[in-house]
Chains A and B, each alone.
Chain A
């Protein structure tokens, strides 16, 4: 049934896309008079060459896993949630409120409480566009992207006017109490005798993200709700005919999606900064779209794509630190990868499909003749 074999679909297409992006990036680096080979070396050793590099790569990857999963689940219902950024911001607010105002006895309880608050806030922010889509037909792409701006303004107001300690110049909350400090990978791995860099921010939320990947896989492919979501995504009219309520599916899918995006905050707000700063999401909500596209909306694919983007982010930071490549060009390189793997998927896919089709046609007549 499929035009391409499975291995070509999941490995070959992303690999060729990446290669194209790498070639273009190399040309960009050459054009500004830097050495692309040294740059790639620097990125690889900086992001993967030490536990420190891995710590940062995995930290960024954790963010992208949450937002990638959020976009992926929405894709299964043919809903395009561009609002991951805003939902993650609101999730951050939820985490900050939970950490600042509830006296937690232990970090495990605080983590559970923060997850609930982050998910609630994120889900709430996604539920409004979802309701508008389900009941009023307002297109979810428009409403979710607009809700990003509303979230940014809301957070701005809350941080500047309500949560900022008096006299502090940063628009940020006070530091969270020590008891809600999440163990980093260094602290988690130390009892097993594994030395992991102390200064890297990757923390226990990584495990939560991996668990979320698994649970989402169960939800999509092993439950009745997941089946309904996929059925609705394939054909709304058929789903309706089968007795599936579109309103219910849109609402539930978007609430799960928003909750996942919001949960990113346990990593960046609670795990890393330990206070809520204004720009805490740093575009992770948008990167989630590329991650979901590249991961073909499959939780395992999202997991792998998130690590790739984590590598790009950490590698980019290393480039900024040790070379004179200006920061704007590092963004260009990151954007090229997103462009090729996310947006220009068909550019690689269609010629590949043609090649595989042609091969199949050449092979196909043989068995027919044998049968005749």
Chain B
């Protein structure tokens, strides 16, 4: 009897949620998976915050395959989901073929800024600015004068991270050595903590004692190994300071959660056809300071970072973007 009522209850719930599916926002996670402690999880947190504040619900899917990108977009669009928030640069191509078919649906995409579609809001971040601050902190914290950078997939976006970081390091200590490695050349590199751990060990053997991971789920392995080996690490995207209290110097925050939250909050009134770049001035990027890294961050560091932040916002310091001419003045990949 209880079994039966449970089944009926579940069916009713399914029917209800199917009915309410109209005009719900939808969120499409990239292949790394929802709980990667980084990029996708930040998106989930933003959506969750929206859901808690408004009491609304949202549709979501963790992609399993490339073919599902377009399929998920179309299905959510046909089901009336609005807006549809998607994660990652790999959505650019499917979006450019799907979005024109659903002119009344609004889309938002994070990490894309080169499309020209009237119903798509493109959100990109000035990762090089945030990474610059992280690089300054790394250069001030290192004792060996050597710092590491572990990238995920070798794409311009990650070089963009590494380039800003290297400029920050060189700004503090022009003689510092930067060891930079990429995890791989395929999307699998976003979720390979074992390889992240190996690269970290290799960088430690080259003298690195602060390692910055810009590698999605792979970064979990980097932070773990850094903690095990007694060196400092820098997290990315989400605030990862809590993962190893006292051993993560800081996290380069990329407020994907804010971008997702605001897209969902705007709902059907989402402003589209625009490219939004969130930098230090908009608090779109920054370095995380909390109780977990309070003992690691000196007052000197805090002052230097605050000063540099203001100077970047005012335009006194110009952090060179890797995109500008596909090369980096401070680091060669």
* A38–B10 touching, CB < 8 Å: yes
**How close is A239's CB to chain B, nearest CB, in angstroms?**
41
B186 CB contact (under 8 Å) in A171, A201, A318: A171
Q: Closest residue of chain A to B88, judged by CB?
A: A169
Q: Closest residue of chain B to A326, judged by CB?
A: B62
Tell me the bound Cα distance from A170 to B14 in angstroms.
37
Assuming the A-B contacts A169-B156, A321-B59, A322-B18, are A199 and B11 also in contact, with contact meaning beta carbons closer than 8 angstroms in the complex?
A: no
Which stretch in B71-79, B214-222, B272-280, B313-321 binds the other chain? Answer: B71-79
Tell me the bound Cα distance from A38 to B16 in angstroms.
13
Tell me the bound Cα distance from A167 to B155 in angstroms.
9
Report B-chain residues with C-beta under 8 Å of the C-beta of A320.
61-62, 64, 68
**How close is B189's CB to chain A, nearest CB, in angstroms?**
10
B253 on interface, CB distance cutoff 8 Å: no
* A170–B156 touching, CB < 8 Å: no
Report B-chain residues with C-beta under 8 Å of the C-beta of A275.
93
* A35–B11 touching, CB < 8 Å: yes
* A317–B71 touching, CB < 8 Å: yes
* B66–A321 touching, CB < 8 Å: no
Report B-chain residues with C-beta under 8 Å of the C-beta of A199.
74, 78, 101
Report A-chain residues with C-beta under 8 Å of the C-beta of B194.
none
* B326–A167 touching, CB < 8 Å: yes
* A282–B187 touching, CB < 8 Å: no
From 1 to 56 in chain A, residues with beta carbon under 8 angstroms from any chain B beta carbon are 34-35, 37-38, 42, 52, 56
A272 on interface, CB distance cutoff 8 Å: yes
* A279–B65 touching, CB < 8 Å: yes
A268 on interface, CB distance cutoff 8 Å: yes
* A34–B186 touching, CB < 8 Å: no
What is the interface of chain A, defined by CB distance below 8 A to chain B? 34-35, 37-38, 42, 52, 56, 156, 160, 167, 169-172, 175, 199, 201, 268, 272-273, 275, 277-280, 282, 317-318, 320-323, 326-327, 330-331
Query: Can you pick out 26 interface pairs between chain A and chain B where the beta carbons lie within 8 Å of each other?
Result: A35-B14, A38-B11, A38-B14, A42-B14, A56-B71, A156-B186, A160-B154, A160-B186, A167-B156, A169-B155, A175-B93, A199-B101, A279-B66, A279-B186, A279-B187, A282-B67, A317-B71, A320-B62, A320-B64, A321-B72, A321-B76, A322-B21, A322-B59, A326-B62, A327-B62, A331-B64
What is the interface of chain B, defined by CB distance below 8 A to chain A? 7, 10-11, 14, 18, 21, 59, 61-62, 64-68, 71-72, 74-76, 78, 89-90, 92-93, 101, 154-157, 185-187, 326
Q: Can you add 15 more A-B contacts, CB < 8 Å, to A272-B67, A278-B186?
A: A35-B7, A37-B11, A38-B11, A156-B185, A170-B90, A175-B93, A199-B101, A273-B67, A279-B66, A282-B67, A317-B71, A318-B75, A321-B61, A321-B76, A323-B14
